[in-house]
Structure 1
Amino acid sequence: MLGYVIVEGRGAADRLIFSVAETLRLDGWALAGAVQVNDESSPYEKCDMDLHVLACDRVVRISQNLGALSKGCRLDPSALATAVGLAETALSQSPRLCIVNKFGKAEIDGAGFRPFIGMALSHGIPVLTSVSRGNLPAFMAFAEDIAQELAPEQDAVLNWCRALENA
């Protein structure tokens, strides 16, 4: 009950996961978790990263401006923790599916949405996420034998989600 996609291309996984979440929401699914939307308004500046928390329709900016010459990680850990907390609150509402935009460095390090994923799975709530090829070994160590790779196409992911009801 842990589906994941590997999508090549900058921001492509975020766009796919967001599109799946929007389709399911329009179909009336109760969702928990968060999807990422990047504001890439200028090709000369780094994008702003926003998490849309699914259950409460709140947007949390998770990027921080470190200056034009910065090469460090722009993730704001405090903002990420806020988004995770909001998502965790929704678990008590028994959503049909939890969506986490990605299993990234924060999750590899044991933070970010990693505890949320574990809580959802322990409550029998399926989880959908994306993983980069570079993070795949750490994700597989976390997921052990419950992870299922999905084709990186909207129809394939939606079919997996809808098949969960018959599982």
Structure 2
Amino acid sequence: MLGFITCTEKGAADRLLARFADRLVAAGRPVVGMVRADVPQRFDCEMHLRLLPDLGVRSISQALGTEAEACSLDAGALEEVVAQVNRALDMAEPGTVVILNKFGKQEAAGRGCRDLIARALETGLPVLISVPPETRAEFDAFSAGLGEELAPEMDALESFVAGL
């Protein structure tokens, strides 16, 4: 099962998936993955991910300077985070929900979380992810019709994982 949400408001999908992960953990449900961490930013577009379960917060940004116009994503740091989550997936028990912050530009280009998504699905674990409008076509090609679009609401996420 591959469920995804799309939000047009910047940061809305990040906040929803992070709150949902917290709700699952509080209910005792095993969760593996990465969600956006609410950390004060030192520079524009700085990104931090909270790794689940209990693997801490990691920055996936690089400071490029005040005049920089390029993306501040540190692709190497993202790959390290993916490797950490992949190792956590090795110990996932049945009923674990995999939550990944987004199918972004790295995934659209064939990198990032793509292999992690595929591996989780192959092992029968449900995956929840956000898909921004700008990478929807690449996600649709990657998921080959397996993705189920969910309303970006807590109730829809709850329904998706209910009974798993």
Output the aligned Cα RMSD.
1.5
The gaps in structure 2 that reach 5 residues or longer are: none
2:78 is aligned to: 80
1:117 is aligned to: 117
The answer on whether the counterparts of 1:97 and 1:127 sit within 8 Å (CA) in structure 2 is yes
Amino acid at match of 2:14: D
Provide TM-score, normalisation by structure 2: 0.93
Percentage of pairs with the same residue: 38
After the TM superposition, which segments of 4 or more aligned residues of structure 1 sit over 2 Å from their partners?
A: 37-42
Tell me the alpha carbon deviations over residues 38-59 of structure 1, each in whole angstroms, 9 at most, x when there is no partner: 54558xx414211111024321
Q: How far, CA to CA, are the matches of 2:31 and 2:41 in structure 1?
A: 28
Q: Does 1:143 align with 2:135?
A: no
Q: Across the two proteins, how many residue pairs are aligned to each other? A: 162
Q: How far, CA to CA, are the matches of 2:20 and 2:70 in structure 1?
A: 31
1:102 is aligned to: 102
1:132 is aligned to: 132
The answer on whether the counterparts of 1:17 and 1:101 sit within 8 Å (CA) in structure 2 is yes
Distance 1:39 1:69, change over 3 A: farther
Q: How far, CA to CA, are the matches of 2:91 and 2:2 in structure 1?
A: 19
1:32 is aligned to: 32
Amino acid at match of 1:93: M
Partner SS, residue 47 of structure 2: strand
The gaps in structure 1 that reach 5 residues or longer are: none
Q: How far, CA to CA, are the matches of 1:37 and 1:7 in structure 2?
A: 18
Q: How far, CA to CA, are the matches of 1:132 and 1:155 in structure 2?
A: 20
Structure 2 counterparts to residues 49-88 of structure 1, below 5 A: 49-88=47-86
Provide TM-score, normalisation by structure 1: 0.91
**How far off its partner does 1:36 sit?**
1.0
